[in-house]
Chains A and B, each alone.
Chain A
């Protein structure tokens, strides 16, 4: 176990350093995505303003503000796209360079992902988070989020990260068959922003849809940790959503191993 971390942790460290080397691109990414969050903030403000001030879909206006920005924080640390890296490795043939080393390709990608995730959590995740807390406390006069919810949120967000990354690995495997997956990636991000509850909280959907979402891994990616943060789950329900996340990790891990086995059998290394 110690050797395992000793082998893969340098990937995390190097990814953080790599992110630091391309700061400009990163700030632009932060700016663009935060911009999106502000748009939905004003949109929701207008929607709540036109109603009688009650809760919509189980969320009050103040909770909605927290939802919008915590979704931003969560998805920025959870949605680390490793499929992009897979597709680049396939197109350029660099996947061969990974296979000559005594390392598991998936673990190396996951640990790289952890690097990006940590970096994004520190920059700007935690600042946005503090900002949200201060805003909700000082302006909206809501109480600070309890320590239990905080810990549970972090725990759940960690599970979410693994679900997303393991899912994305499976998705990236498509690149071995089609070479380019840029178009599919656009489709993926559009569909995911719906299904993860990033765009609209899942509780806004009709009951039938919500039943379907329960059987998909996507709701566990962003929606679950944010709702935990808001304290919407308690007791057995809380245990259930956390257990569901763990189950998804297991399923997606097994699925990834299976696909990887198939892929390496018919692997073609491009160029030279």
Chain B
């Protein structure tokens, strides 16, 4: 077992083993009467925010950590950064247990919480960078090199002398990302880094994350609600729901596994003719593999089918036998749809865990 651990350590930057976090809070009762009752009651409510999650992340990976609001994403990140202590389980980041050795761990990580800032609110941005340079013990040459890089990818000089409170959200977020990267951390945690940003800034942030990952081999863990972030950045995603891990794997695999269906919408000259088609026979398949709906007013026919079973060319050929096709639209199931379905508990947990 010991040998096993040693070998594993070389491979993965982050190891999370069965971590669980429970929050205990005093029970609250509704209304004024309840508030008074609460003063005397000692009833406690136990809530499990993160329930027995394990995963391994290798150096240089960009992992999307997604889940609905309150699924436990931020709590997991906080445990990995050493802010919170897990109730059970352990995580090892670059060989260090953050809950036991917060200070050493902090030297290796950079964190951006999209909702907060680590910059000095009342002072010019440049001051924050000078103080961070001292805190992380960054040498002058390193500082110079890093700032050149950050200025290039994040465009910091435009607002470097402004006080932080006067920055726009986009500027602040870029500055925060820069601040998190000043000491060249091995692991970068981004908790909703693109929240509330416009498309241009979002793009800039994404590009910067990519550049950093490529140049410094920084391991990035990203939580987000923006599907675009995931599609552009992540090669692997972990989905959690109600504190449990429900998916861990590649992005393409997720699409392949859960995006099995395709949708074709066709505008026809004679939709009535098409209604008479016996699809099961023509396509040589069973009835549960497809679904046909028609809209006579718009002369539209929509077929949703499993793309592994049925060829789209067969469908079109079948239609062409009876009537003329004026317009055609093919839709793949989008990642957003898949994720939405997962959040809505459309899939059974067991099925996904496979």
Q: Which residues of A contact B (CB under 8 A)?
A: 3, 6-7, 9-11, 13-14, 17-18, 21-22, 93-94, 96-97, 99-104, 264-265, 267-269, 271-272
Residues of A within 8 A of B127 (CB): 14, 17
Chain B interface, DSSP helix/strand/loop, else mixed = mixed
Task: Output the least CB separation between B134 and chain A (Å).
Answer: 5
User: What are 5 A-B pairs at a CB distance below 8 A?
Assistant: A7-B134, A14-B127, A103-B135, A104-B103, A272-B115
Asked whether B83 lies within 8 Å of A101 as measured between CB atoms, the reply is no
Main secondary structure of the interface of A (DSSP, over half): helix
Residues of B within 8 A of A (CB): 23, 25, 74, 78, 81-85, 102-104, 106-107, 109, 111, 113, 115-118, 120, 122-123, 127, 130-131, 134-137, 163, 191
Residues of B within 8 A of A267 (CB): 83-85
Q: Is the CB–CB distance between A101 and B122 below 8 Å?
A: no
Select which of A11, A14, A94, A265 is within 8 A of B116 by beta carbon. Answer: A94
A10 and B106 contact, Cβ closer than 8 Å, known pairs A21-B122, A21-B123, A97-B117: no
B115 contact set on A, CB distance < 8 A: 271-272
Complex-state Cα separation, A268 to B82, whole angstroms? 12
**Alpha-carbon distance A94/B131, docked complex (angstroms):** 18
Nearest CB of B to A86, in Å: 16
A271 to B136, CA, bound (A): 27
A95 closest partner in B (C-beta): B83
Q: Which of B102, B118, B123, B137 contacts A97 (CB 8 A)?
A: B118
Q: Which residues of A contact B120 (CB under 8 A)?
A: 14, 18
Q: Is the CB of A100 within 8 A of B106?
A: yes
Chain A contacts for B191, CB-based, 8 A: 272
User: Do A99 and B102 touch across chains, with their CB atoms under 8 A apart?
Assistant: yes
Cβ contacts under 8 Å, A22 to chain B? 122
List 18 other contacts, CB 8 Å, given A269-B83, A272-B116. A6-B134, A7-B137, A9-B134, A10-B135, A11-B131, A18-B123, A22-B122, A93-B116, A94-B116, A97-B113, A97-B116, A99-B82, A102-B107, A264-B85, A267-B83, A268-B23, A271-B115, A272-B113
In the assembled complex, the Cα of A10 lies from the Cα of B109 at a distance in Å of 21
Residue of B nearest to A271 (CB): B115
Given contacts A101-B135, A102-B135, contact A18 B122 (CB under 8 A): yes
Is B135 a contact of A7 with CB atoms below 8 Å? yes
Complex contact A96–B83 (CB within 8 A): yes
CB neighbours (8 Å) of A6 from chain B are 134, 137
Residues of B within 8 A of A11 (CB): 131
